[in-house]
Amino acid sequence: MRVTDGAVFDSMKRSLVAAKSRAMDAQETASGGVRVSKPSDDPTAAAQARIQHSREALSKAGVSAANQASDRLQAADSALNDANDAISRARQLAIRAPRAR
């Protein structure tokens, strides 16, 4: 089989174009600091990133709900303490009050 100069040149040209494309992708990744800039770059990594973002959002929502519940419990505890103090004060006043005959 005879290999012509044209075939060798075409093969080298395709290799250089592919190498240039890979180099540009690597440079873009290095300069941007992001390995996956669009889902087609790495569909698996993009899907995992979406899952991680969803988990993070759920976690933040859970923390927010827990904080709100804690605030409500503190308010209820304060109200119950105030009611307990009022009942104790009423009991003290009732004990000190003169008895009617």
pLDDT tens, 48-83? Answer: 888 999 999 999 999 999 999 999 999 999 999 999
| CB-based contacts of 28, cutoff 8 Å, min separation 6 | 37
- Is 11 inside any structural domain? yes
Sign of CA dihedral 45, 47, 49, 55: negative
CA neighbor of 38 nearest in space, from 23, 55, 25: 25
Q: How high is the pLDDT of residue 10?
A: 87
Number of domains in the chain: 1
Please give the backbone phi and psi of residue 38, each rounded to the nearest 5 degrees, phi first. -145, 150
Range of the domain at 9: 1-31
User: Whole-model pTM?
Assistant: 0.49
Tell me: pLDDT of 99 over 80. Answer: no
- Is 64 inside any structural domain? no
